[in-house]
Structure 1
Amino acid sequence: MGKNNKKKFQVPDESHLLLPAHPSSTSGQTTPIVDTHTHLVSTFSVYQGKYREGKHASIFEFVKSMYNRPGSHRVEAIVDVCCEAPVQRVWKELADSALTPDGREKDWGGIEYWFVMGAHEAKVYTDDVEKDILEAMTHPRCVGWGEIGLDYHYDNSPRKIQQDVFRRQLRHAVRLGKPLTIHTREAEEDTERILKEEVPRDHRIHIHCYTDSPELAQRLLDHFPNLYIGITGVITCSTNLNTSAVIRNFTSSPSSAMRILLETDAPFMVPSNLYPSLPTLKGKLPLCHTAMIPWTAEFVSGVAGIGWDTEKVMRVGRENARAVYGV
């Protein structure tokens, strides 16, 4: 087939984003979803780009429609991640809308909206960006500083600058007592060294979307008793063996707690085991969203093995979200 005759990717109808109930929800005793890491502004932007004539004109409409489907796991809380620099002022509109129970009911359909903020891209971190983040830290719906960290895969910023900005933000978060949301990719030695140098052992830490070695995960877990490993749909990818190895390490000892957090990293990381639940779908979904978490939990339970099922993983993830972020 010539290059001019290539089959164009067809975006599936947006009705496929309205997910069916996960099989585990039929038990009647379902654990509510807490998504500990989602990018709502980015997710809605992708939705608008893919569905220019889409049904939802605002983030609020999108969330209320997509996240709580009758008969499915209820979405109880989301932790929105604001990590762009310069800081997007929309953060305050979203956070302010969730200040009161009436506001959360009207705008979020009863979902508890929380957020964290940091600067992910080190080369654009400035005093003004830091000032905006420090302002956000005082908001009642802010539950952490992040995502921040080192990424030697893309190397979008020089590594020395990445390390300096990482330390600078860690020091602020520690001073304020804010939980940390950490991004690390292919930077194991420096991430471990800097965390151990800058962060007290008992600080609450979320290593987001973990894909690095199980050995690094174990060293961090051993050193920081309040550190948890974030699990996204990327665990379902056949090329990713590390994340499943971390789960198996948790279950290798009967006395080990499953120190994981369930997250989406939406709009990225659609769990691949979701697709059998969408038999009429042709192709792939163009974005991920919070209601997909039960499929990630299902995959985790399969890796964990005997004694684990989707609901148990969901319960553990929910308890751990409360331990780390207080949500």
Structure 2
Amino acid sequence: MANNRSNEFIPESLFRLAHPAVSPASPIVDTHTHLALTFESYRRKYPNGEYKTVYDFVQALYVPAGVQEIVDVWCEAPVRPLWREFADSALTEEKRRDLWGGMGYWFVMGVHPHQAKDYTDAIEADIIEAMAHPRCVGWGEMGLDYHYDTSPRPVQREVFIRQLRCAVRLKKPLTIHSREADADTECILKAEVPKDHKIHIHCFTNAPAFAQRLLDWFPNLYIGITGVITYGSNVDTSTTVRNMFLPSSPSPPRLRIVLETDAPYMVPNPVYNLPAFAKPEVKGQKLPLCHSGMLPWTAGFIANLLPKPQAAARSGAASGADAGGAEMWDAARVLSVARENARAMYGV
């Protein structure tokens, strides 16, 4: 993340992005974003900025970029009352048109493992209440984080299991956070979650073998890909995507991913290849936040990882929209397949 001083050199106009791959046939669906946090970050970094409300922000930056749907994530403890304002403002087609510029707003809610130590009966009751809202499409993010250990590991496991049992009982899709906790995450999911349940492993940076075991066990599980896949320090996420098309894989070749930003975090590196970022006054600076309109650059990076038609033919990969057959992968195709996967995962 850039510091506030760098914002002197990064005009907010650089947040207005349009990718040539985006079309009515390949719209952007961001399956994991923190919209309130993104907007609040924008207001802190640009206190005199152009966009005064979250609706101004979305209508100026998201809708023109081709964002069709977002799944907003509320995972604080205690639950922020602001969720209801956002969700209620998207209840009718008229409100979505007037306030959200026609973009679909959905949300999930849970408690992040960092705050597992703060989980209470009252917070659980608040989440269960939110689950009944028409714009709620899942429970999360929840899970385990052994990198920071902000909450004690036994507490993380206890709260993870407790949330899973609630979500399974309510038949809600699961948004899972797992960092440096592969073994425990896998063990708990397999013990607590029916095999056919819908699962989104959010912002995957774990071991490719861990991903494959989950994909093989849970037929309705999807791997969430953020801009972190574009970072040179991360090879596991790229390997995980490539492995979906290995001839030796027990599963048929299929791009079982959903696209997400985890905004305001993780600006995709390819964004910095745009001409505007080559200008002397901007060159070398980093954007201070990400937003959903940046997803096509992640999609383009993914497309370059996938089989080329001749390679797919030699390997015997199945043809079709999800396989690596005769059709060339590009950003538009990745966006389209990820869009269908988002519909299957969350119904959006």
TM-score by length of 1: 0.94
Residue pair 2:4, 2:45 contacting (<8 A) in 1 also: no
Q: What amino acid maps onto 2:36 in structure 1?
A: V
1:128 corresponds, among 103, 111, 122, to: 122
1:214 corresponds, among 208, 231, 246, to: 208
Query: In angstroms, what is the RMSD of aligned CA positions?
Result: 1.4
Partner SS, residue 304 of structure 2? helix
* 1:4 aligned residue: none
CA distance, structure 2, for counterparts of residue 247 and residue 153 of structure 1: 23
Residue pair 1:205, 1:228 contacting (<8 A) in 2 also: yes
* 2:311 aligned residue: none
* 2:15 aligned residue: 17
Partner SS, residue 257 of structure 1? coil
* 2:171 aligned residue: 177
Identity %, equivalent residues? 58
Q: Deviations over 1:225-251 (max 9, x none)?
A: 000000000000101000000111012
* 1:157 aligned residue: 151
* 2:324 aligned residue: none
CA distance, structure 1, for counterparts of residue 4 and residue 62 of structure 2: 30
Query: Is 1:313 matched with 2:328?
Result: no
Alignment of 1:263-282 (within 5 A): 263-277=260-274, 278=276, 279-280=278-279, 281-282=282-283
CA distance, structure 1, for counterparts of residue 24 and residue 110 of structure 2: 36
Partner SS, residue 24 of structure 1? coil
* 2:39 aligned residue: 44
Partner SS, residue 322 of structure 1? helix
Q: What amino acid maps onto 1:10 in structure 2?
A: S
CA distance, structure 1, for counterparts of residue 146 and residue 289 of structure 2: 25
Report deviation, 1:22.
1.5
Partner SS, residue 10 of structure 1? helix
Alignment of 1:25-64 (within 5 A): 25=22, 30-64=25-59
Q: Deviations over 1:278-322 (max 9, x none)?
A: 333331100000000100000000111413111110111000000
Query: Is 1:205 matched with 2:199?
Result: yes
* 1:104 aligned residue: 96
Residue pair 2:39, 2:57 contacting (<8 A) in 1 also: yes
Report deviation, 1:23.
3.2
Residue pair 2:196, 2:219 contacting (<8 A) in 1 also: yes
Residue pair 1:24, 1:30 contacting (<8 A) in 2 also: no
Q: Deviations over 1:185-208 (max 9, x none)?
A: 000110000000000000000000
Query: Is 1:296 matched with 2:298?
Result: yes
Q: Where in structure 2 are there 5+ consecutive unaligned residues?
A: 309-327
8 and 48 in structure 1: CA distance in 2 versus 1, 3 angstrom threshold: closer
CA distance, structure 1, for counterparts of residue 154 and residue 246 of structure 2: 38
Higher mean displacement: 126-135 or 144-153: 126-135
TM-score by length of 2: 0.88
CA distance, structure 2, for counterparts of residue 10 and residue 116 of structure 1: 33
* 2:347 aligned residue: 326
* 1:228 aligned residue: 222
Partner SS, residue 76 of structure 1? strand
- What is the number of equivalent residue pairs in this alignment? 315
CA distance, structure 2, for counterparts of residue 8 and residue 252 of structure 1: 44
Partner SS, residue 239 of structure 2? helix
Report deviation, 1:13.
1.1
110 and 227 in structure 1: CA distance in 2 versus 1, 3 angstrom threshold: same
Higher mean displacement: 300-309 or 132-141: 300-309
